[in-house]
Amino acid sequence: MPPAGGSLGLRRLINTHMEIGILALQGDFSEHHDILQSLGVSPRLVKLPRDLSGLDGLIIPGGESTTIGKLAEAFDLMTPLRQFSKEHAVWGTCAGAIFLSKDAQRSQPLLNAMDITVARNAFGRQVDSFEIRLPAPFLKDGKEKPFPAVFIRAPIITSVYGDAQVLLTLADGRIVAAQQGRLLATSFHPELTSDTRFHQYFVELATS
């Protein structure tokens, strides 16, 4: 089960030097960068295999999952990323969740790291974007203060199996967040809100 709501908190972040990478091949990596800095964590943009050295964790941002995968192949990052995901915390948001999965229901480059199946663009086009507040008891004050989840051309996690577990669902039962050990996948974009609790949660995973 995921750890209870933010038990380590910012105190641990301040007392521990953390360096979290953000895959910066394509997508909204700058927003993740700014949030990590606000938490006192050192962010590092990852574009080449050598950029993974010494990192405590890695965020794979939203963008276009096929493009991310093709660029990762072009920059010889696929094997290093797969190895990194076996040993460290990795979080995929939106397109990053697709790239992290073992099955995207279509042919495209994947890390094959997480026991989830993901369907692309499950909520429609850009104009169908929406925000909804989701109770998240594993986050700090997550029951009393639901998390603002922003969905933009978002995928849906259609199945969770093996060692993965469901973290969050919509009211209709569709899965929008899952965890497998220190691997994390979210259909939505926590980096597009002012709420930093999901990033705090991930940094805590990276310290465990």
The single residue of 32, 33, 189, 199 carrying the catalytic annotation is 189
Are 32 and 61 a contacting pair, CB within 8 Å? yes
Is the torsion defined by CA of 90, 94, 98, 101 positive or negative?
positive
pLDDT tens, position by position, 45-90: 999 999 999 999 999 998 889 999 999 999 999 999 999 999 999 9
For 99, the enclosing helix (H) or strand (E) is: helix 95-100
Q: Is 32 a catalytic residue?
A: no
List the one residue out of 50, 74, 198, 174 whose CA is nearest residue 122.
174
User: Can you give the pLDDT at residue 8?
Assistant: 46
Q: Which fold has domain 9-207?
A: Rossmann fold (3.40.50)
**Integer Cα distance of 122 and 154 in angstroms:** 6
**Integer Cα distance of 44 and 16 in angstroms:** 16
Q: Is 64 a catalytic residue?
A: no
User: Can you give the pLDDT at residue 88?
Assistant: 97
In terms of C-beta density within 10 A (0-12 exposed, 13-18 middle, 19 or more buried), how is residue 74 classed?
exposed
Sequence ranges of the domains in the chain: 9-207
Main-chain phi, psi angles of 160, to 5 degrees: -125, 130
DSSP letter for 142, please. T
List the one residue out of 205, 188, 95 whose CA is nearest residue 133.
188
pLDDT tens, position by position, 119-145: 987 676 654 577 899 999 999 898 899
The single residue of 94, 131, 144, 199 carrying the catalytic annotation is 94
Q: Is 189 a catalytic residue?
A: yes
The single residue of 32, 88, 191, 199 carrying the catalytic annotation is 191
